[in-house]
Structure 1
Amino acid sequence: MNTQEFKRRLTAILSADVEGYSRLMRDDEAATVRIITSHRTAMTHLIEQYRGRVVDSPGDNVLAEFTSVVDAVNCGVEIQRELAERNEELPENRRMRFRIGINLGDVLEEGDRIYGDGVNIAARMESLAEAGGICISGTVYNAIENKIGLEYDDLGEHEVKNIDKPIRAYKVLSYPGAAAHRVVKVKRAAGKLRRNATLAIAAILGIAVAVGVWHLYFRPPPIEPASVDKMAFPLPDKPSIAVLPFDNLSGDSEQDYIADGITENITAALSKIPELFVIARTSTFAYKGKPAKLHQIAEELGVRYVLEGSIQKSDDNIRVTAQLIDALYGHHLWSEKYDKEIKNFFQIQDEITQKISVELQVKLTHGEQARSWYGTMNFEAWGYISKGVGIFENYTKANNEKARGLFEKALKIDPDSAFAWVMLAYTHLIDVRFAFTKTPSESIKNAIQFAEKALSIDDKNADAHTSLGSIYLILRQHEKAIEEGQKAIQLDPNNALSYVLFAQTMSYEGNFNEAIVLAKQSIRLAPNPPAWYLIPLGRAYMLSGHYQEALEVFEKLLERAQKGEYQLWHPHMYLAITYSMMGQIEKARIHLAEAQKDNPKFSPELVHKTNFFKDPNHLENILNALRKAGLK
């Protein structure tokens, strides 16, 4: 294989196949085809729901990839849960059990296909998995060990064909919320018993009881999806959510204040996140104690997502549960429980609120990077930074100054927050990037100082390395910028910001095809990316001659800018350049006029100051396109 024809990248690979597929086909070919078609459809839906894609599905195999290894494992768990339910409705001899293997590694990409050691290791993990089980590689285990509430069994090292070193494998033992989680515990307990008839029967009965109890009490009831057509209000353009009053399960109405306090705290915290549309508590509390269905609530409030939960207090301990539901599809997206000892109620309330809010940011806005941004931060500091990030990403001079003030407030509260120092560095960097400052050398000096401060707190902070890469880019030290960008992605392969800024670096380096791959990856990693994430993608399309694709991206950017998410002159400028390069000068002139109307200071000098190409010919091509459109 000539690897020069392929693109190499890091991805999470899920490989699955059916145990005993040949026997099933031999016994009843038609029934087997019907069942595998149904199972594969369910798997495909779940893979897409967890932001993955099916690469191939020959015979009884399914190969999928994910940009997030957490999504890959969560998807694998949900697939086994879903297929276990479907199998229970089938006769024992027709049940189809998949084995799943998951690996995080390098692959070679050719069109829509992927190859290489990363895929081979995933297939090896699959072969080690039990029917209905999941086996993960050591790279996956290292990435998710503290991020997902699962239990694992170390299976030791195993040889993989054409791989020099043995690969460590882990068996996933528990699936939260699934029958398998309870059954596996019964099996493990039963394995310790002697093999006499009485105890064997007891173990079998125990497993049967566990499954029965789960069906009666733990299996979540189906959720009727909400209808967009029945929404009382149009769905907003950004993720919309209603936080329903948490239930008090303590059996003591005197504890209602705890449930109400946590509900209000979460609502107030989420309201500080500009990327979310949050229904006010006065509207959601109207449903307290009423038997309304979730789809009805979503339709009446005009939201896609609903957060519900409960509290249970016993003596000096409290348990808080929460679950996020996509009302349009009737799916549970996330759930968690928190057990705490009540010493300082308000401190516990803030801690739980922050954890839930961060998880919602992961699921609905910024993706996995939100966990590393906010995970260990003081609650009040988190509030300032969450608000600051949303304001900062509009990239206006006024908003940049407001965001800087919020980051500085956060650092007064939590001076050891590496992410707050990174964001403070970015505000000074943006002053230079968009020519907001009259003293660019001073701004660069501050940006370097604050990025290095973040690294002194955490030298493995991917965001700090990403910020340094952007600083080196502005200084036109392209090799150092590339080095920092690569380091950031190695440290955190699920950080969307690292990918989009590295895409920007590679675009200015002149490697437009690589920039397109990186920019697409960033958008896949962030469920609801900021508008500016579209710029590196569109610019790379434009400068590589993919004009139609560039127009589509810049039209989307214009649409979002018209809603106040970005400066209007930017999409108009890029549309003017693209149309001019296509020879459609009249359209180019219209967009140039709009750019100058929105930004009277728009000039060739501004274009020169705010672009950092290694090859000056690329900048000259942009300026020539603008001159043809009438820029003087």
Structure 2
Amino acid sequence: MCASTQLSLSNPRLLTVLFADIHEYTRLVERDEQNTIIRVTDYLALIRDLIADYGGAVVNTAGDGFVATFENPSQAVSFALEMQRALARETGAVDGNDQIRYRVGISIGDTFEGQDGVYGHSVNLAARVQSFAEPGGICITGAIYRLVRHISDLRPRSIGTKRLKNITTPLEIFALDLNFVPRRNDAVVAQWKSATLADSIPDASLAVLPMENLSGGKDDEFLCQGIVSDLITSLSRFRSLMVIARRSSALAASQAASLRSIGQNLGVRYLLTGSLRRSGNRVRMTFDLIEAARENTLWSERYDGILTDIFDFQDDIASTTASRVAIQMDMVERRRLAEQSHPALYAYGLVQRGQFLGSQFSPSANLGARQLFEQASLLDPSYSGSYAAKSRTFNVEWRYNWSRNPEAAVNEALNLAERAVQCDALDTRGLSEMGLAHLYKRQYSEAVAAYERALALNPNDADLLANMGDCLANVGQSERAVQLLERAIKLNPFHPDEYLWFLGDAYFHKGDYRKTIETLGRLRDQSEAYRLLTASYALLGLVNDARHYAGELMRIQPDFSIGRLRTLSALKRPEDREIYVDGLRRAGLH
């Protein structure tokens, strides 16, 4: 006898429901159960990543299908079209009889949410409608059709009025044309933007509020004002941030009763608050990055210093704080946009999601990120950030030898970087990717020139400093490379491993092999550093250690060869390359 379970349901919500089912799933499982299950699992992972970009969420899954919900029909239809095209690309190389193809149905109506998913007439209706879809196709109800027909070029096609199982009233059903490619549509974007007041606030928007002078002295008040002014100037150099002018921030802070109301009045998502306390020439300053709507602190920093030269002190505090605030906001935005089900994900949000995905550093993650960047440029063709981010995926593809045609990859990286700079000549990320592509093409003067232009625009961008340091190490300027990389690490305490890898490389080409080993020892994942560790230990005469790392290198990269390394090396000076090769050969590598 089975125990009964209590089903707890929410109040009904008007939602768009998408029901997807795999065509001939039973036959596919019977033919090759293990491979089918593996592929379905991979496709569901792709679907979950994609669906968040359209404000949806997968709420039920079964072996042969899933149910998803959306706040509005436009999102559901756009997602369904992109999903079917993405899956068609994935299955393109699979034999026709073994292809996994979903049939999709979309409806709208009151929906009840329970612990195990969603329930209601709209769910049943979507399930019935999908049965009329072709394998790899999409069908929608008449109600959905009336709500999305304003989308230009969508071209729904009526397949007639149908009687559906266990549904008394016959319904007209429409099939969608899968050749439709969604373009930026002002009506759809306007609909998404109006979802909530919070969604209308620019994502990476910030106001720096007046610092609180805890000491009370007039001189300290001037110091507080100077630091705030310098902070706003430094933060404004980050093109991804929208920073409110100082006068507006000060006026709003003087008139509002709460941080939440300050954020609403200024139309910003984040606030930066600070305080200063002085005793003699000793100064303590604290800063807090706050999410205005919730009034919760996301990040705090404290600085203690000796006030000798007030202008140097002010510059150092402003530049360091600005860089760390920008980094923290970037991290928070990536997490927020990666995790939420959100009806208003624009080009900026897609780029943030892509960067979050690309940070996994795998060929599949890199391609997935590139697809998000392509969607971003489709939504907003003038947004430089999408082209710079996409350029990065091709530079990464070249660097890690993931491309079958490395020359084509680096050429595309350069083309996209140039497009980014054309869209926004002040965007340092486009110039940074341009410098990297020129470096990989062995166009050394052009590479350094691009980085110098970027550095002049924003000397506090830690990622830019790290990438420029990597470039300089490759062109024979190791001393300056070390300086830039040490500053990047100071500005970004939560730096990725590549900062240390770049710094270790700079020390190596400077001839300081012990410092190389010490730096690479701080890596969380040393696998990328096995070549440098091998050569460094060998050049120090520590052959046993060198052979250990040579063995580790061959274990994870069995096709490694010095000849291949020569081909991919971006080093400008032949003597630098020969020293590196000599170290590897001393460890027994060929």
TM-score, normalised on structure 1? 0.46
Larger Rg: 2
